[in-house]
Structure formats: C-alpha cells, structure tokens
Amino acid sequence: RKKKRLHLSTNTMSGRSSIVGVRCIATSSSSFGAKRRRRGQRKSTGCLCGFLRNGTTTTTPLTERRRFRRKAVGDVMMMMRSAAAEDEKEKTALVPIANGSEEMEATIIIDVLRRAGVHVTVASCEDDLVCEMSRKVCIRADCLIQEVVVDDGEKNNSRSSFDAIVVPGGMPGAERLAENASLDALLKRQKEEKKLIAAMCAAPAVVLLGKNLLEEASEATAHPAFDLGEAFAKDKKKRVCYSKASNGQVVITSQGPGTAIEFALALVKELCGEEKRKEVAGPMCVPEDVLMG
C-alpha cells in the first residue's frame, strides 16, 4: 500500500516564513519502514550485517572492520614502497685511474655507466686528483683512492662497498694501478663479497691475473698484446667476455679502446638489466649487431 508524504517548501526572503508550494510524494510504507528500521538498527548496534554460508546472519563490529581494512591497506602500501625502493636503489661503481691510463677506455666506461644512472666514483691512484693519461689527456678524479679505504690496520677492510669495480687499461697506467695498495685491498674485498669485477685492455693481464682474480673465471680476454695464459687462449679473439662462477662471482673483460662501448654496455646489462642497456644504447646509435652480442 502507498502512503502519501507532503513536502512543504517555504519562502523566507521577506523575513517571515510562508508556504509557497506543496508537493506530494508517494512512498511504499513497507520499503520506507524497512529502511528506517535498518538505520535504527545500525545506530543502536554499531554493526554491519553479513551472511554465513548456511544462511544465518552474523555481525562484525564496524570499528573492527575499519581497523582490519586500514591495516591491510597499510601493509600493501609498505610492501609497494619497499619494492619500489629496492628497484630504485642506485647502483655504484668505482673506476680507478692513474698516470698513463687509457683515456678513451676510462671516459667511455664512466660516461656510459652514468647514462644508465649508475653512481660512478672516479678515484685517482696518484697523489694528485688530476691524472695525465696515456695520450696526454688530463682527467680530474672525484677523490683519491685512499679516501674509499679504511686505514684501521685490518687487511682488505674497505670503507665503501661498490656494486662494481671497473679497471681501465693503458700503459703504464695498468702497472701503476696494479702496484696501488689501496686498490689491491678494494679488489680483494670485492672478490670476498662476490661482487662484479671488470677490466679491459692491459688490465686483465697486468692487474687481475697477477692478483688471482681470474682463477674462477670460465673465460677472459685482454688486448692482443697481452697473454692471459693457456687457460684463456680460446678467448683471445673475443671482444668482450662474461664469466659467472658457481659462487656467483662475475668477471667481465674486454680487449681495448675499440671495444669500450660494448664493454660498458655489458656492465650496464649486468648492473641494471637488458632494458636499461637498450635504453642507453639507442640514443648513442650503437649498431644492432653490438646489441645482439
């Protein structure tokens, strides 16, 4: 059965209330009453009704449902923030240089890694920040190599931990790098922590081989003028070699200035992934055959 409700509209513009219109609204007494009863029930109990599988009803306190919902949302947001922070964590690399290092190799390594968003620290293994490279080009380092090593009397105790240490070649630069005690400590710690070690040109033979940093590598290459021994004779003509030992240690090596971009992009792939490598290589107009390698 329908009940009629009168809606009165008033005019208060003149300062006195007066009825200016009457509107009749037809409502169902059953639906209107049911809605009113439900509202009253919620106000009096503070509960929301639910249904169990067997058809019986149950009630969950409103405050408890809200508390559960807020906790669930908070947990999800925390997980998302944690995952994003892990994904966005900045990768770090150390590039040591010395008087006589190969300037093309050093510059290309630094430049390509920075294009990929890697935080690169260029450390001088000389007493001065400015190093005169093999072809008389001068490069100013970010710091001295001693500044990233703790001098606490403990062997191989490095203060800064890098995701990669990348050693450029060039002579006599590679020899000066091999003789540097601070770099030696950093490389040994890098091996202990099973983090990426990379070198090119003369450095695989002069720096890595002499420090036993290639003993677990399955393949390695260097400039054709340098010999890595019988174990790596099969790799002598390879432009870039990637080796991952059973313990997770990755070593990447390359031949010389002409392979520096390929080498640097291999580092980007290892540190940041294949998509980042392609993203960096595109604007540099790197040939497809290099990317496929």
Kindly name the residue from 125, 131, 201, 272 that is annotated as catalytic.
201
Q: Phi, psi (5° rounding) for residue 249?
A: -70, 125
Kindly name the residue from 131, 223, 241, 272 that is annotated as catalytic.
223
Bridge-partner residues for 199, per DSSP? Answer: 167, 253
Token output for 119: 């935080």
CA distance 214 to 231: 10
The contacts of residue 161 (CB under 8 Å, 6+ apart) are 92, 189, 193, 195
Q: Buried b vs exposed e over 102-120: b needs ≥16 C-beta within 10 Å?
A: bbbbbbbbbebbebbebeb
CA distance 181 to 20: 98
Helix (H, G, I), strand (E, B) or coil at 57: strand
Query: Is 119 labeled as catalytic in the residue annotation?
Result: no
CA distance 241 to 252: 6
Query: Is 201 labeled as catalytic in the residue annotation?
Result: yes
CA distance 51 to 99: 79
Residues assigned a catalytic role: 201, 223
